[in-house]
Structure 1
């Protein structure tokens, strides 16, 4: 179970590194990546390492990170 959780965390971290490696990143891209990683970790922890929980948490975290990083007008 611990190895499954570590693999999920490593996968989310690798995805975030891949996204941020594409040239200059915007504030919104960093927010999405950070939210996805934190959401994936939280989803994995809440669902005891479930892949669906990790992916769902990453998706929700990405959306929240996107909204938080938007510039206020």
Structure 2
């Protein structure tokens, strides 16, 4: 894998990576994410409520990564 083909994706609208990791990495037309948590981007807190709220936050954060990488996101 050459550095030209690999692109690190980052946005301040989603929770930052904890440790020496990237929020997402684009390689060609693939986008890799790992270890997503249902955390708030600003306060680094989990949203109030049940698992559904955390799951929704994970999906919304993932959509931010996809759109940042210029992938089409359709709901």
| TM-score, normalisation: structure 2 | 0.39
Which protein, 1 or 2, shows the higher relative CO under an 8 Å CA cutoff with sep ≥ 6?
1
**TM-score, normalization: structure 1?**
0.40
Larger helix proportion, structure 1 or 2?
Answer: 1
Structure ranking higher in strand proportion? 2
